Amino acid sequence: MKNRIGHVDIAKGISILLVAIFHSKLKMFAPDIIGSMGLFRMPLFFFLSGVFFSSSTDTYEFCWGKVNSLLKPYFATLLFIFAIKVLYLDEDLTWQLKGIFYGTGDTIKGIGYWAPMWFLTHLFSVYIFTYFMFKFTSIQKSNIYYKYFFIVTLMAVGVQWIDLFWYFKITLLGKEIEIPGLPFSFDIVLVSSSFFIAGAFLRKKVVSFTPNFYFLVISILVFLMIVIFTDAHIDLNKRIYINPIMATMGAIFGIYLVLYTSFYLNRVIVLRSIFLTFGQASLFILIFHSFFGSLIYRYFSGLGGNKIELWLAITAFLISILAPLLVKIFVQKNKFLSLIYFPVKFKINQG
C-alpha cells in the first residue's frame, strides 16, 4: 500500500512544482512550454485532491475539518500580512481586507505576492460542494456510465458559465460595481469539481495504477497535437477555458503523463524522497513560493544581460520551493505556529 500511495504523493509533489514554475520568472524564458502545462496544472491539483475524498464523515466534523486544514492557514497568513501593512503604511487598506475575505485570486493579489492562495479558499468550496452533492444524491452508487455522464454534464455546464460572474456589473446601494467572480471562486466550482469528482471515482485505479507504455505514447502524441494545432487553454483563476473539448482532453492526457512519471519516480529512492518531500510540503510551497521567488528575483534583477537574468530566474525558482521547506520545519518546531498551519484534532460538540 505504501508503494501505491507513494506515487500519488509524488504526483502531488510534481503538481505543486508545476504551480511554482508557472508563477516563477522562468515563464519568460520558456513561455510556450510552461504555458502548455496549464492544460493540466490545476486540473491535476484538483484531481489528486479528490482521490482520497470521502463523504462518510459527519457533516459538522467534515466542514470544520476543512476550515481547520484550508481556511485557518489562509486567513492566519493573510491577516498577519495585512496587520503588518496597517502598521507601516499610512493609507486606507479596507479594500485589501475585503479582498482577503472575498477570497479570489484577483482580490488577494492586491495585498502582495499571495494571489496563489486563492486555491485554498476555492478547494474549500470544492470540498463542501462535493460533500453535499454526494450526501444528497446516489451518484456514488451509480454505474460507471452514469458517473461519466454526471462528470461530463458538470463540466459542460461549468464551462458554459465559467465567466458569467467574472467582473460582472451589479448595482449596489445606487453604485455600480464589478464583482471579480463569486466569493471563494464559487462560480467555477462546477468545472473544478469535475476533476475533483473524477479523482474520487477513479480512486482504485489511481491507487493501483498500472503503467501502459502504449497509452503513454498515445498520451504524448495527442497532448502535443492539442498544444501545437489548437488554441486550447485553461486558466481557472482567470475564468479561461478555451476550446473545451480539446482543453479537457489535454488535461486528461496530461494527468496520465504525470501519474506515469510518478509511478517510476517512486521506484528510484533518491528521486522518490525528493518529490515526496515537496508533496508533503505542498501547503507551505503553495502559500510561500510566490513571495520568496518574487522577492529574490526583484532584489537581484537588473544585474546584467539575458544569461544572468536566466540564472537569476532559476535561482529564484529554486529558493521559492526550498525556502518553504525551511518554513515548514520552523513551524513544526513551534507549538503556536503548528496550531495555525497544521490541522488540530478536536471534537465538535453538537449539543
The tens digit of pLDDT for each residue in 138-175 reads 888 889 999 999 999 999 999 999 999 999 888 777 78
Could you say which residues of the chain have pLDDT below 70?
Answer: 1-4, 302-307, 346-351
Quote the distance between the C-alpha of residue 152 and its chain's center.
21
- How far does CA 284 lie from the centroid of its chain? 12
DSSP state, residue 67 = I
DSSP state for residue 344 in the 8-state scheme: -
d(CA 167, CA 106): 10
Residue 15 CA, chain-centre distance (Å), reads 8
pTM exceeds 0.85: yes
pLDDT of res. 2: 41
What's the pLDDT at 1? 38
**Sign (positive or negative) of CA dihedral 216, 218, 223, 228:** positive
Burial of 162 (0-12, 13-18, 19+ CB in 10 A): buried
What local confidence, expressed as pLDDT, does residue 243 receive?
A: 97
Burial class (CB in 10 A: 0-12, 13-18, 19+), 118: buried
Question: Does residue 159 sit in helix, strand or coil?
Answer: helix
pLDDT number for residue 3: 41
Nearest CA to 124 out of 65, 83, 164 is that of 65
DSSP string, 226-293: HHHH---EEEGGGTEEESHHHHHHHHHHHHHHHHHHHHHHTTSHHHHHHHHHHHHTHHHHHHHHHHHH
pLDDT (tens digit per residue) in 266-321 = 999 999 999 999 999 999 999 999 999 999 998 887 665 556 888 899 999 999 99
pLDDT given at position 351: 45
Helix axis angle, 2-22 relative to 282-300, nearest 10°? 30
pLDDT score for 214: 96
